[in-house]
A and B are shown apart, each in its own frame.
Chain A
Amino acid sequence: AQSVTQPDIHITVSEGASLELRCNYSYGATPYLFWYVQSPGQGLQLLLKYFSGDTLVQGIKGFEAEFKRSQSSFNLRKPSVHWSDAAEYFCAVGAGRGVTGGGNKLTFGTGTQLKVEL
């Protein structure tokens, strides 16, 4: 069964500082990996996704993530955080390439709440 672990429940950073949010996954094959952001009272917005190819993926709002197969990780990074980045961030894993049946089920981590200090 697939699973996702986000070890950090809360993270506080100063505006302008760099950010790294951790995500570890468990999956029997090469997974599809996603990072979503949820602002207060809002739905989930996709930041970026990894399907295949280059292990460093770029997303919206200046975010990037690196897929490391050896560490089963897909950490999210941003070089300089803005106050508007304060939100809940979710890492998710989907059924990988070649997996048939089971639909397009996403398994989410428990989320990391980011607070940005001005």
Chain B
Amino acid sequence: DTAVSQTPKYLVTQMGNDKSIKCEQNLGHDTMYWYKQDSKKFLKIMFSYNNKELIINETVPNRFSPKSPDKAHLNLHINSLELGDSAVYFCASSLYPRGGTEAFFGQGTRLTVV
């Protein structure tokens, strides 16, 4: 059983389109995250939700809107895609929203904007 699963794994789309990435965790964790890994493999947090409540929003453009329908799901919707949005997006979860709790990562979604 996959602990943190993301769909799709690959996404190729044109500039200006709107797309969504879905994430689900079956670990019973309260907290979920979105991280972005750029072309140089640098990982940076974008958002974090704890029990459906947004707790971290790291200066991400408004075109990115996370949604958490329940604590097991955290989706990422991106409007008006730009070339610079091309990256690998990782979903993660942890038991609690505080330091000292291990984060489990999904396999990533490679987004390519053409």
CA distance A46 to B113 in the complex (A): 30
Among A42, A88, A97, contact of B99 (Cβ-Cβ < 8 Å): A97
Task: From known contacts A44-B90, A108-B42, A110-B40, infer whether A103 and B103 are also in contact, taking CB-CB under 8 Å.
Answer: no
Q: Does A90 contact B (CB under 8 A)?
A: yes
**What residue of chain B has the Cβ atom nearest to residue A90's Cβ?**
B43
Contact B40 A104, beta carbon cutoff 8 Å = no
Q: Does A51 contact B (CB under 8 A)?
A: yes
CA distance A108 to B35 in the complex (A): 11
Contact A44 B98, beta carbon cutoff 8 Å = no
| Chain A positions within 8 Å of B90 at CB level | 43-44
Contact A104 B103, beta carbon cutoff 8 Å = yes
| Chain B positions within 8 Å of A104 at CB level | 31, 33, 48, 94, 96-101, 103
**What residue of chain A has the Cβ atom nearest to residue B101's Cβ?**
A104
**What residue of chain B has the Cβ atom nearest to residue A38's Cβ?**
B41
Q: Does B102 contact A (CB under 8 A)?
A: yes
Q: Give the number of residues in B that approach A within 8 Å (Cβ atoms).
A: 31
C-beta contact mask, B74-91 vs A, less than 8 Å → 1, else 0?
000000000000000010
Question: Which of B31, B41, B58 neighbours the largest number of chain A CB atoms within 10 Å of its CB?
Answer: B41
Q: Does B56 contact A (CB under 8 A)?
A: yes
CA distance A99 to B44 in the complex (A): 20
Task: From known contacts A43-B107, A103-B55, A103-B56, infer whether A108 and B99 are also in contact, taking CB-CB under 8 Å.
Answer: no
Contact B50 A44, beta carbon cutoff 8 Å = no
Contact A43 B108, beta carbon cutoff 8 Å = yes
Task: From known contacts A104-B31, A110-B40, infer whether A95 and B48 are also in contact, taking CB-CB under 8 Å.
Answer: no
Give chain A nearest CB distance to B69 CB in angstroms. Answer: 19
CA distance A94 to B105 in the complex (A): 15
Among A31, A88, A102, A106, contact of B103 (Cβ-Cβ < 8 Å): A106
Q: Does B15 contact A (CB under 8 A)?
A: no
* 18 A-B residue pairings within 8 Å (CB atoms): A42-B108, A44-B92, A46-B102, A46-B104, A51-B100, A96-B99, A102-B56, A103-B31, A103-B48, A103-B55, A103-B56, A103-B97, A104-B31, A104-B33, A104-B96, A104-B100, A110-B40, A110-B41
